Amino acid sequence: DAKTTQPPSMDCAEGRAANLPCNHSTISGNEYVYWYRQIHSQGPQYIIHGLKNNETNEMASLIITEDRKSSTLILPHATLRDTAVYYCIARSGGSRLTFGEGTQLTVNP
């Protein structure tokens, strides 16, 4: 699976949009971009995934660049409960998830 690079930490004000970037310049054509988050001392929680097109669900939006070398996870109205480590993972169907260091997002009041 392609390596991903994320900033180690980010801050966001409560109520504002949180935009979390991820670079995956070596991603191959059959690899999806997955986002998970882990709130302290809990198991990871699935957020969203995509292949080429932008995706949106009740939790977040995923914007993937046309060349697929990077993506951005958008939490439209961040709350204090969104404080967590966010992991961006590139994987092909069927492969196991391997986690990098992720981005510690802190939402401030």
Write out the residues near other proteins by the rule CB under 8 A: 32, 36, 38, 41-46, 49, 87, 93-94, 96-102
How does 26-53 read in b/e, with b if 16+ C-beta sit within 10 Å? ebeeebbbbbbbbeeeeebeebbebeee
In whole angstroms, the minimum distance from the beta carbon of 15 to other proteins comes to 26
For other proteins, the closer of residues 14 and 21 by Cβ is 21
Write down the least CB distance from residue 24 to other proteins, Å: 16
Q: Which is nearer to other proteins, 46 or 80 (CB)?
A: 46
Distance in Å, CB of 108 to other proteins, minimum: 21
In the bound state with other proteins, the residue whose beta carbon lies nearer, of 21 and 100, is 100
DSSP character string of 33-90 = EEEEEE-TTS--EEEEEESSS-EE-SS-EEEE-TTSSEEEEEETT--GGG-EEEEEEE
